[in-house]
Structure 1
């Protein structure tokens, strides 16, 4: 391996710009938004289908739906906030531990760098040059240890407030689709319109979700719409059966 390639690993060329999608945390935020909106769509459609089969009053259905929509959004938002906060706290704990090890056990940490880059194909004088350049700058040393040894990338973390707000609001927005027909149509017609509208939106969300993976947008959309509608029909049938007892 040439000295030019070893320098590139330690000092990436200035013309290189990492793809924002892979390194900015945008994937994590999009995942949170997909999670919140799909939960609002699927969970709320199942809920509203179930209460439609068992409650006689459309007004009660709407009131129960509004209450569930905001309760679900609050619950999802708090869960996302706490999850993101825990991840960040764990990262900061590991960062502090790694700083302490570099400060108090530099020889052991230097050997870890040596082993990491030996595994990448460096050897002999070139390996020692790479180790020397990395460990000459403690900030760079720490950053490489966090990434190479522990698999952490700071920019991948989403703000807890951003995650909580994003998931909570996306849940409420998702839940609004299956609820809206009950504000415009009679109960029986509203259920059909609600399922059709939610199915279309679920397909769109599933297609958007395919950006997070290598799956076909068509398969992802059909799968999400199919599962959501199947869950709603199951809840409707179960509630109707219980109401008939």
Structure 2
């Protein structure tokens, strides 16, 4: 690997706030690194800056909310449809949607908060290690660069500069602990995304029940199954192609397989719920007999 490649490697990591900007050596070092990267790949940089990007963790939260919302409430409404009362299905479905969205949102919020606290604790421990045990830190830096087969002189220079840099904790957090710094609004965004995804996904199978009579739960169930089959397939297809790509026969085939898998999962969940409700009805009928 060349020095320019090492410069590109070094200039991509996320910095931790509250750095000491008075260190001239580090300023000049990063200025040279950024200059090398910009001069060597200016066109690519322009393309990257103009491309719209979505936080991968936000997409993951949306997928979690939608996938749960499209299976659990669907299974519940399908099971309640065995009772034949549309009002029971609507009231039970709405209650589950609201309670489930709140629960999922709180779970996402607490999970993101735990991630933030874990990052802060690791950062504090890393800062203490850089002050109390600089020898082991130098060894850690050398281990980070070892897989890249850099010249020993370059590794020695990088280790020397990083060891004296106020950005050393940031470097270790990114390349040793591989922990990105969470944003301050991460927990709130995570909670809202998961809750909305769950509610929207779960409201789809409930829609047909609003347009039928009070005793037409079975008719609404047929429309609900058809609606959810289409929605589950679209969701599975989109989720798969978002990761693998949208163009090409291979990606399209993966998307179709992903869509069919989602339909299968939703069908199994709904069928199991309906079977349980039917079984409870038979048990109740036998007890009364």
- Normalising by structure 1, we get a TM-score of 0.88
Structure 1: runs of 5+ lacking an equivalent: none
* Aligned residues of 2:69 and 2:197 also touching (Cα < 8 A): yes
Moved more, 120-129 or 156-165: 156-165
What's 2:196 paired with?
Answer: 169
Post-superposition CA distance 1:94-115 (Å, at most 9, x none): 0111111112222321221122
* Aligned residues of 1:52 and 1:187 also touching (Cα < 8 A): yes
- Normalising by structure 2, we get a TM-score of 0.76
What's 1:91 paired with?
Answer: 119
Aligned length: 240
Could you tell me how far apart the structure 2 residues matched to 1:115 and 1:31 are?
A: 31
What's 1:193 paired with?
Answer: 223
Structure 1 residues 153 and 25, CA, compared in 2 at 3 Å: closer, same or farther?
farther
Could you tell me how far apart the structure 2 residues matched to 1:243 and 1:65 are?
A: 19
* Aligned residues of 1:28 and 1:158 also touching (Cα < 8 A): no
Deviation of residue 125 (structure 1)?
1.6
Deviation of residue 189 (structure 1)?
0.8
Deviation of residue 158 (structure 1)?
7.4
Could you tell me how far apart the structure 1 residues matched to 2:227 and 2:84 are?
A: 23
Could you tell me how far apart the structure 2 residues matched to 1:62 and 1:195 are?
A: 15
Deviation of residue 179 (structure 1)?
0.8
CA RMSD of aligned residues (A): 2.3
Structure 1 residues 96 and 37, CA, compared in 2 at 3 Å: closer, same or farther?
same
What's 1:231 paired with?
Answer: 269
Deviation of residue 237 (structure 1)?
2.1
Post-superposition CA distance 1:151-183 (Å, at most 9, x none): 112269970111111111111111111111111
Question: Which structure has the higher relative contact order (CA within 8 Å, separation 6+)?
Answer: 1
Post-superposition CA distance 1:66-118 (Å, at most 9, x none): 11110111111111111111111111110111111112222321221122213
Moved more, 181-190 or 112-121: 112-121
What's 1:33 paired with?
Answer: 62
